[in-house]
A and B are shown apart, each in its own frame.
Chain A
Amino acid sequence: MSAWRQRLPCVLVALWAAALSGCGGEQSALEPRSGPARDIATLWWWMLAVATVVFAGAVGLLVLAWLRRRRVGAPVVGEREGFDLGMVVLFGMGVPAVALIALFVVGNFVVMPGTDAPAASRAQMRIDVIGAQWFWKVRYPGSGVVTANEIHIPARTRVNVTATTADVIHSFWIPQLNRKIDMVPGRRNRVLLYADRPGRYRGQCAEFCGLQHSHMAMYVIAESPPRFRAWLAQQARPAAEPGGALAQRGERVFMEHQCSSCHTIRGTPAAGEVGPDLTHVGRRTTLAALTLPNTPRELAAWIRDPQYFKPGNRMPALDLDRSEIEAVAAYLEGLE
């Protein structure tokens, strides 16, 4: 059974899509990497199978009508009205009623509880994720750790994510791990994150949130619990002192220009709340909610003209010359 379950998705996806675009990537709901996501995917394949049967049956009737188009004479009406009505009652009411009740029970009473957000007591850990135009602010309560766009979790651990928003409605969604949940002003929604094994899972804002809705993605990075604990301890520390003259100049530029009014770097005077926390930005793999890879070159290009890469985002191009930009990039890349 489970082997069949494992294989069927791949067979059908192969039929549908693989030839066209390759099997889905790290944001595919059809490649689940957790119990809840797997239950939902299995539900989908079952629904697809039943839907295919229904579709084939109905189209079969159309084909039958097409085959009967050349019959001679006017159709006989009235003799078999009971049969005709019976067809409508059976297939229009009887069969759907059975299928719908089955779907209702399986979908909402069998599958749903396993994908629900856990009660606080049943979760092993909590993370607060705050959606903002257009990035994700991530807090680890109790540790003082604040990061952005890359959410580290321990694998095989039930993590309760509290999803809130700093401005408009966003929606938190990691398709390979679980269903999505909206981030609505005035509400504290919760969702369960659980990863079977270490790995990187991509997610994206699913509720239209303005100009850069397309560039509001994130990674969930699941690590073995010891590695996660090490990561968390490292992230809890204040920012590293800049090493080298270039990075030291970069820090000065950062603090003297507007950078520090929007970004926080713990351990320095920079305490802005508009943009992502940069305390350990050097450890991240991407910039601007997965818009760019995090390399010194890309970081410098981003600082030079953020509006080019992500038009409409809140970060202005500052009046910095080339050497100042390189210094700031060197400083930030050093914040590991």
Chain B
Amino acid sequence: MAVLGTAGRARAERLRRVWAERHGVLGWLTTTDHKRIGLLYLFTSLAFFLAGGVEALLLRTQLVRPDNGLLSPSAYNQLFTMHGVTMIFLFVIPLSIGAFGNYLLPLMIGARDLAFPRLNAFSYWVFVAAGLFVYVSLPLGSAPDAGWFDYVPLADREFSPGPNIDFYCLGIIFVGISTTATAVNFIVTVFKLRAPGMSLNRMPLFCFAMLAVSFAIVFALPPLTVAAAFLELDRQVGTHFYDIAGGGDPVLWQHLFWIFGHPEVYIIILPAFGIATSIIPAFARRRMVAFPLVALAELLVAFIGFGVWAHHMFAVGLATVTAVYFAAASLIIVIPSAIQLFAWLTTLVTGRPQFATPLLWIVGFIVFFIVGGLSGVMFAAIPFDQQAHDTYFVVAHFHFVIFGAAVFPLIGGLYYWFPKVTGRMYREGLGKASFWLAFAGTALTFFPMHIVGLLGMPRRQYTYPPDLGWTGLNVLETVGSYVLAAGLLLVAANLAWSCIRGPASGEDPFDGATLEWAASSPPAPYNFAVIPTVTSPYPMWDERDREQDVRNAEAGRLVLDQGHVTPATTVIDGEWDEALDMPSDSPWPLAAAAALALVFTFLLTGHWTTALVFLGAAGAAAVAWHAREAAAELVTRRALPNGWWGMAVFLATEAALFGSLIGSYSYLRFTSADWPQGAIEPPSVALPLALTAVLVLSVVPMRAAEVAARRQRTRAALRWLAVAFALQAGYLAVQIVSYVDELGTFTPATNAYGSIYFSLLGAHHAHVALGLGLMAWLLVRLAGGLTEYRVTAVRAIALYWYVVGAIAVFVVATQVSPA
């Protein structure tokens, strides 16, 4: 922001008071400021990066010579598993989405915070708790040790009797809660909080990447959650999802895992694409070539990524038709990646690139992305895939992609936004040196792995014999890993030193294109003294708009200094909708996350009742969290409120969860000779159908309540809600009686049919029970009168029940299908 006049400064001062948070440690514990949460994510994820990096160095040191005895096989297996789990779940995603996304997304779209600031704090604390939960296992000597892919039956109780895999299953589910909550937050933020004038086609490509990632997370994590829950049930309750003797199938795990696992690759790399498309225009001094194609490609990559999972399973013995289909889909996904690659290259060639440190890291990214991409394409030739599969060739391929291509831009981004976050400049010479060290180290570590893999070295070997020609290459790889570590340490040293001693950088040292450079460095708690005017995807290069900002600040237009507010706009066109009163710092997200941590701890130790008690505590924290209402008067909005959108995205992930459950049911059914298995009677048809009809019918009073609430007829709304509540509660009561009754004839431990039958229905009943909790909360709230906040609550919870009704139809159809 250019220099403000007297009136502008007075307004900025008022904003500072309004947006101030608590000082000291308490301030950090209760913060809802996206920038502070972003920094918390940054330091936490870097700590996990350090842990994962040390693990990698230990692995490489063990492999420096044949028959080495540095690590026992058990230690080696734990370390390579933890290396994978750490880097994927606790480092890359929290750094790219948690730190970069959190810090930059609101700044880039001209907002003052994310759509749900307390949910954001909750995401962070859940992530910390989940990370610690997983890492406690390491000093106990019981770290997960079946690989991050955790294939069954190796991960079953029979072959892994210790708690190692329980840490894995529960930890994965736990950290998924955090990631999903962040994705919901980002989607609503991108849809609703863009500065007036920022229509979707003017949104920076970084934000498109974050949007694509968030959608991928919403739909990709539920299959993983379901897979891990099945495994934990197999281990602790004796169900038979993956147990061939009990009618299950270990390949079900692989399908569920890779339906998550391949989109996950794009979840990891899309933020890197976003960072590249931020840095390249700034240093090439020109706009991105083919902007709409690149935006489309980012979204397409995330979408097609869901259709390629079985290319991880070509050696399982799939039918040829299936394998060839997945090979074709895997080739199609190359196209959007190639579009982006040549858009970056053409932008660089036709621009006037300045090869400063951030751009160097992007150049490294492009080189490694090409290497990893080209080797990846080769796997679509199935015979070659089955030769290279599970060898070091694959290790080379995916490290070029998810280290070279995903992490290099993150480090480039650390340099690029360092002046914005700290207000200081890093040292350019050291920055370049760190790049060349890390570049050489990466190439030296991972390139020889291609060769050693083709020479026949399988992955996940704690040792290897001396006479197969692998030794020299392994020495090179190990040397490379230490060079790489030195490069990364130099990055850390450069940034740490510059943080204290670096020269002041000013607001916009790189002449960047996007709105974060309009904020001060470091940005004020309110981000923008005046909500920026936007007329293109490169707002900082539109000088007249920035001059308009200064005039607005003087005139008090778009300053919004009357309260803790940020503008909300319409989803597509980004037109002004309303000024949103934003929540401020709160202790409840931390409390809820702590209660959840205890839930997972007691699930691990098998104290289920205690876990249930703490689940209640987490619910209580959630209620306390929502005690204070946003101080909005009743207004007529043009668009749907944030609360409704948040619920909609949450329900999308719920639908994906039930989709995974129903998909698993179908899989088990069609791989089983008889269904229901064993001597179990087919389910009765009449009662489930009648009950579901009642539940679906409850949608009518919900709709009536919604209409009444929007017309501000409080009593009518209450009445309709009560009717709906009675129907829903009656439904659940009868369902539970029937559930318990059926448990008398067969159980989840009888066979795979019992396992999936009771799990599917149990999940559905839990879904209904959660809805009843929401209804009870709503009824209490509404009894105190109607506010804008409560109208939104009615609309969001009504949406919840519409979706529950729809899911109920699918669940009951699946349930009665054998009859």
Tell me whether A and B are bound partners: yes
Q: Given A74-B285, A180-B390, answer yes or no on A69-B380 (Cβ-Cβ < 8 Å).
A: no
CB of A206 within 8 A of CB of B391, answer yes
**Are A168 and B153 in touch, CB under 8 angstroms?**
yes
By the criterion CB–CB under 8 Å, are B353 and A59 in contact? no
Given A88-B290, A115-B386; 9 other pairs, CB 8 A cutoff? A29-B388, A55-B370, A61-B345, A74-B352, A97-B335, A104-B380, A115-B383, A167-B153, A208-B147
Write 26 A-B pairs (CB below 8 A) sorted by A numbering: A20-B473, A21-B472, A25-B467, A27-B455, A54-B370, A54-B374, A58-B341, A58-B370, A65-B284, A65-B345, A66-B355, A75-B284, A77-B287, A88-B346, A92-B335, A92-B338, A92-B339, A93-B339, A104-B327, A107-B381, A112-B382, A179-B387, A180-B390, A208-B154, A210-B77, A214-B462
Q: Is the CB of B381 within 8 A of A205?
A: no
A30 in contact (CB, < 8 A): yes
B460 at interface by CB-CB < 8 Å: yes
Q: How far does the Cβ of A256 sit from chain B's closest Cβ, in whole Å?
A: 31
**Among the listed A68, A92, A205, which residue makes an inter-chain contact with B343, where contact means beta carbons less than 8 Å apart?**
A92
A175 cross-chain contacts in B, Cβ below 8 A: 387, 456
Contact residues in B for A30 (Cβ distance below 8 Å) = 454-455
Q: Which of A52-111 contact B (CB under 8 A)?
A: 54-55, 58-59, 61-62, 64-66, 68-69, 71, 73-75, 77, 80-81, 84-85, 87-89, 91-93, 96-97, 100-101, 103-104, 106-108, 111
State A13–B452 Cα separation when bound (angstroms).
11
Give residues of chain B (256-282) contacting chain A, Cβ–Cβ below 8 Å.
none
B residues in contact with A116, CB < 8 Å: 320
Contact A62 B363 (CB under 8 A): yes
A40 at the interface (CB under 8 A from B): yes
CA–CA, A103 to B363, complex, Å? Answer: 28
List residues of A (100-132) whose CB comes within 8 Å of B's CBs.
100-101, 103-104, 106-108, 111-112, 115-116
Complex: A184 Cα to B463 Cα, angstroms: 24
B503 proximal to A (CB < 8 A): no
Q: Which of B454, B458, B461 contacts A24 (CB 8 A)?
A: B454
Stretch in contact with the other chain, from A43-51, A136-144, A233-241: A43-51
Q: Tell me, rounded to whole Å, the shortest Cβ–Cβ distance linking B90 to chain A.
A: 21
- B345→A208 contact, CB < 8 A: no
Complex: A61 Cα to B351 Cα, angstroms: 12
Shortest Cβ distance from A29 into chain B, in angstroms? 5
Q: Which A195-228 residues have a C-beta within 8 angstroms of B?
A: 202, 204-214, 217
- In this assembly, does A277 line the interface, its C-beta being within 8 Å of a C-beta of chain B? no
- Bound together, the chains give a CA A28 to CA B457 distance in angstroms of 8
A108 and B244 within 8 A (CB): no
Q: How distant is the Cα of A30 from the Cα of B468 in the complex, in angstroms?
A: 13
A103 to B448, CA, bound (A): 24
Give Cα distance in the complex from A111 to B327, angstroms: 14
Asked whether any CB of chain A lies closer than 8 Å to the CB of B324, the reply is yes
- Name the contact of B375 in the complex, choosing from A25, A51, A68, A100 (C-beta under 8 A): A51
Q: Is the CB of A210 within 8 A of B461?
A: no
State in angstroms the CA–CA spacing of A199 and B450 once bound together: 26
Stretch at the interface among A149-157, A185-193, A262-270, A318-326: A185-193
Judge if A312 is at the interface, Cβ distance under 8 Å. yes
Q: Are A17 and B342 in contact (CB under 8 A)?
A: no
Q: Taking the complex as formed, is B350 at the interface, i.e. its CB lies under 8 A from any CB of chain A?
A: yes
Could you say which of B289, B375, B382, B471 contacts A108, with CB atoms under 8 Å apart?
A: B382
> Does residue A146 face the partner (Cβ distance < 8 Å to B)?
no
Please tell me if the beta carbons of B454 and A189 are within 8 angstroms of each other in the complex.
no
Inter-chain contact B386/A181, CB cutoff 8 Å: yes
- Residues of chain A with a CB closer than 8 A to B355's CB: 66, 69
Is there contact, CB below 8 Å, between A47 and B378? Answer: yes
B358–chain A nearest beta-carbon distance, Å? 15
- Distance from A149 Cβ to chain B, minimum over Cβ atoms (Å): 14
Output the least CB separation between A69 and chain B (Å).
5
Known: A87-B342, A180-B315. A108 touches B371 (CB 8 A): no
In the complex, are the beta carbons of A71 and B316 less than 8 A apart?
Answer: no
Interface residue A247 (Cβ < 8 Å from any Cβ of B): no
A308 shortest CB reach to chain B, Å = 11
For the complex formed, measure the closest distance between the CB of B529 and the CB atoms of chain A, giving whole angstroms.
Answer: 29
The answer to the question of A169 belonging to the interface, with a C-beta cut-off of 8 Å to chain B, is yes
Interface: A311 (CB within 8 A): yes
Q: Decide yes or no whether B576 CB sits under 8 A from chain A.
A: no
Q: Out of B286, B383, B456, name the residue touching A111 (CB < 8 Å).
A: B383
Please name the residue on chain B nearest to A186 by beta carbon. Answer: B244
Asked if A231 lies at the interface with its beta carbon under 8 angstroms from chain B, I say no
List B449-481 residues whose CB lies under 8 Å from chain A. Answer: 451, 454-465, 467-473, 476
Partner of B455, one of A28, A112, A133: A28
List residues 235-269 of chain A with CB under 8 A from any CB of chain B: none
Which residues of chain B have C-beta atoms less than 8 A from A74's C-beta? Answer: 285-286, 352
Q: A17-B455, A21-B472, A206-B390 are in contact. Are A214 and B73 (CB under 8 A)?
A: yes
B353-370 interface code vs A (CB 8 A; 1 in, 0 out) = 111000000010011001
Known: A51-B375, A96-B334, A169-B153. A77 touches B286 (CB 8 A): yes
Interface positions, chain B 601-615, Cβ under 8 Å from A, are: none
With contacts A104-B328, A179-B386 taken as known, whether A213 is within 8 angstroms of B353 at the C-beta atoms is: no
Complexed CA–CA distance, A114 and B387 (Å): 14
Q: Are B354 and A28 in contact (CB under 8 A)?
A: no
For A24, the chain B residues whose CB sits under 8 A away are 454-456, 468-469
Judge whether B556 is part of the interface by a CB distance below 8 angstroms.
no
| A59 B370 Cβ-Cβ under 8 A | yes
Q: Report the separation of the CA atoms of residues A193 and B456 in the bound assembly, to the nearest whole angstrom.
A: 17
B250 surroundings in chain A (CB, below 8 A)? 169, 184-186
Closest CB in chain A relative to B37 CB, distance in Å: 36
Interface pair A207/B390, CB less than 8 Å apart? yes
Residue of B nearest to A71 (CB): B352
Contact of B377 with A by CB under 8 A: yes
Decide yes or no whether A171 CB sits under 8 A from chain B: yes
In the complex, which residues of chain B have a beta carbon less than 8 angstroms from the beta carbon of A68? 349, 352-353
Min distance, Cβ B153 to any Cβ of chain A, angstroms: 5
Instruction: Give the residues in chain A near B375, CB-CB below 8 Å.
Output: 51
